[in-house]
Chain A
């Protein structure tokens, strides 16, 4: 229920800057995911909010209360780790009833309460089942139910689905989101999985090397990120080096290896180097027509990913392009070895400044 404010938080581990001046505001009842490659500081930030790690500098507020120096148990939050920490010697029911009992509920009330939490979590397990007798999915739900049974206002989730198979993971994330919604909690979820984060979050916080790179809704960050790093981290993207020919009213005409393309962008000058981005699903592959001189190439590889066909096109000007066609429309994508033309959906291309530290460093995931 509370909002969370992180102001100028820094944390060093020996010489390593784990967090550098991180500020963040999370609204009441918001579901926010913090994502980034391993080592970016996302877990450290969550542990600072939880009070498990003490920050070197900065302040943390939960609701109106400053908690910067409070121990975890006084912060009124539920915390769930990747490594499930259920008490192995207790039944799953007793695990879930641990919080309520510690908070002074009697046996009967605890039993009723656990029943309610289990119903909410759509968890069906026997009263005398021990954690090690459960499937991975049921164990994870039990851990979540235990965190919720402590009646927290703020739920902190560190890779809560990390230990699960891809398939189960994709099912449980929606259950998790529904549960948090129904309880009206504020939730902060740390994950390395961009699809998981996009699918269930109100907003995303993108981190890299101890810093917050960008914050926004999944749709905003996916369709029009401010940083090239974000574009790459949130899914496959084509990056095309080009040179500005003309820039006017939010549109840029740029030339990439001799071929020109229109893109979104402002504030560029003629002759300036840029990077054009386009998502594979915004690349259209079509049969070659006689008149086509530019953006033509040869299909090098097709891969059926299930919901779409991923094609690699080698363009005649030396560029390589990845296209994704929804499988219903895949007949137009040509066969391997076939000559095709490549087009882009309207506003599919965006022009960016070349990062000062170079494109490779900007995009690096490790």
Chain B
């Protein structure tokens, strides 16, 4: 039984379709991330479910009841906006107790709940502090605790980790997921950060221009993205445009530049089709010796940058274009990979890891753009 169901929901603002014919079903206890670039409609979608804005057309159901035109306070959902506003003159504890108090709990019950929630977000020791005495990250956790304290089975979070430093954000995302699972609540979490979505969600809904482009488990979206945009936005990848020149039973051969052919084990495209091939940066291997293997292309190292676990190498393949390879840093050090610009290297990708897409109608650069 889905607890949340959106059927053909559209929300327009003047001539702009902020949400365009969205269908979505979310089951009880699921942790869902709504992921997309700025302006994709993420916040509008969340506000529609919260009841803070109404759908222009379509139907929204919570727990099997239609709520399309029901007031927010009657939806049994807790919404934590991006610009959470803590009461500056109240202690952290009172701020959190405000949620249950507003829902009709007694003051005693409200404070007990507040203490419990503060313990969950690891701020019990700061209960008597005032908001301005806490860091941005702590304040955001207070807002979260206040959202949780209402005891709603549905938690709607808009960029809940947005104001937090990158490193702490990484730690808190795991805690947030654990917390949600412990409490058994259903969560819809809006974010523009694909890594955050990948590491926290049971399923991800990728939104662009008001429409859901793909909805699935992180591994599904990563392994089988529905378009070049999705491959680029979730996980990042290399893209080469080409034309299918041969199709054998178990391989598709794509010409990506005069004299350069790429072999993919994926099918579904026939001879003469204009396509975009794509392969993940971490599936792009750097070799130092020439070999006549399939999908090996020589190139010149343009630059390397260090990402922590990976070394990011940009390689110019001449007419084929530029590709990025992410090499595990230990491997890069052990193999003493080249690190000087201009050095000759060979790039390889396994045929099983070469994805093929129809060539998009608009230019590839525009299709990939996430601005």
Contact = CB atoms under 8 A, between A and B. Distances in A.
Contacts of B236: 170, 306
A235 interface: yes
Number of chain A interface residues as a range: 35 or more
Interface residues of B, number: 44
A365 B135 CA distance: 10
12 contacts: A38-B165, A136-B371, A166-B196, A199-B306, A219-B306, A233-B167, A235-B167, A303-B198, A305-B195, A307-B310, A308-B282, A366-B168
Contacts of A310: 199
Contacts of B219: 304
Interface string A160-182: 00000111101000100100000
Interface in A193-248: 193-196, 198-200, 218-219, 222-223, 232-236
Interface in B135-189: 135-138, 165-168, 170-171
Given A194-B167, A304-B198, A165 B308 contact: no
A279 B309 contact: yes
B312 interface: yes
A37 B308 contact: no
A222 B137 CA distance: 24
Contacts of B192: 165-167
B370 A168 contact: yes
B329 interface: yes
B309 A281 contact: yes
A290 interface: no
A135 B40 CA distance: 13
B168 A37 contact: yes
A326 B309 CA distance: 10
Given A195-B166, A365-B167, 10 more contacts: A37-B168, A167-B194, A167-B370, A174-B303, A193-B165, A304-B219, A305-B195, A306-B236, A307-B235, A307-B282
B222 A166 contact: no
B165 A365 contact: yes
B307 A198 contact: yes
Contacts of B309: 235, 279-281, 307-308, 324
A232 B167 CA distance: 9
Contacts of A37: 165, 167-168
Interface of B: 37-38, 135-138, 165-168, 170-171, 192-196, 198-199, 218-219, 222, 233-236, 280-283, 303, 305-310, 312, 326, 328-330, 370-371
A165 B38 contact: yes
A138, A232, A306: residue with the most chain B Cβ atoms closer than 10 Å: A306
B171 to A, nearest CB: 7
B282 A326 contact: yes
B308 A194 contact: yes
Nearest to A199: B305
Contacts of A307: 235, 280-282, 309-310, 326
A192 B165 contact: yes
A219 B310 CA distance: 11
Contacts of A91: none
B262 to A, nearest CB: 19
A282 interface: yes
Nearest to A232: B167
